[in-house]
Amino acid sequence: MNGQRLKDKVIVIIGGTSGLGLSAAKAVVAHGASVLVVGRDQDKCLSVQRELGERCQFNVGDATHPDTSELAIRCAVDSFGDFHGLYHVAGGSGRSRGDGPIHEITDEGWRYTLSLNLDSLFHSNRAATQKLLELGHGGSILNMSSVLAYSPSPRYFATHAYAATKAAAVGLTKASAAYYAKQNIRFNALAPALVDTPLTTRAMSDTKTLDYVATKQPLDGGRVGVPQDLDDAVVFLLSDESRFVTGQVLAVDGGWSVTEGQYHERTEDPQEDTANS
């Protein structure tokens, strides 16, 4: 492993205290970056900082609030002297608040899921773009999408507001990539399938869903992803190695988007959840 792929880079990770974001924070520090992580729980933030050491700072905040990302990026510059990249991970399922198939989505479920996944991403991308324009040296903005944005699974993963937010993340990423390319500000997105994180406990506890995923994600023996499966892609897209890459959506999905997957007959509706965190 080349520990210098992100040497002297300053990265902000929105949602960096658990799951995919925490794994990414460890990876970018291991590759030479300084990182500021944002999370809602102060104890988790302190734990991450203790684990990663002096090249890690944190801010406690809710990513759906407009000021959270702006403050985090400002603190990163104050702490480390610069800012080069944003990784937006924060988000999740709105199922418990009323997301589901479109005929069942409640108004609250729709508003909650859009705020959680899309408003938060807009706030972070806007703040990062404004700071990179101010600094004048370009940089990389990496967003979290999902295979459900373009490769639905109606039987096991029918959360349509969630899918809409993840498709919107792709649209915002591509439009921004086109607009800011002349300023060397790159926008890309990752699209995982089912990854074992604290936000996917419902799917991880349902044997029928796991049987389906074992055939829908056939790589590496057929399995659920782990956060570390995304780390090399994160490092690549935040580093200068991807200096000629923008507007792309990279599926890190174990083959989900190119595989049919096998259904198992049953007489009742499956437990449903949302892929990735």
Just list the catalytic residues: 162
Residue with tokens 């990752």: 190
Q: What is the dihedral of CA 37, 38, 44, 47, to 10 degrees?
A: 20
Q: Are 275 and 192 in contact (CB under 8 A)?
A: yes
Which of these, 80, 53, 5, 237, lies nearest to 144 by C-alpha position?
237
For residues 66 and 71, give the distance between their C-alpha atoms in angstroms, rounded to a whole number.
9
Q: Where are the alpha helices (DSSP H) in 148-262?
A: 160-180, 201-204, 207-216, 231-238
Q: Where are the alpha helices (DSSP H) in 13-59?
A: 19-30, 42-52
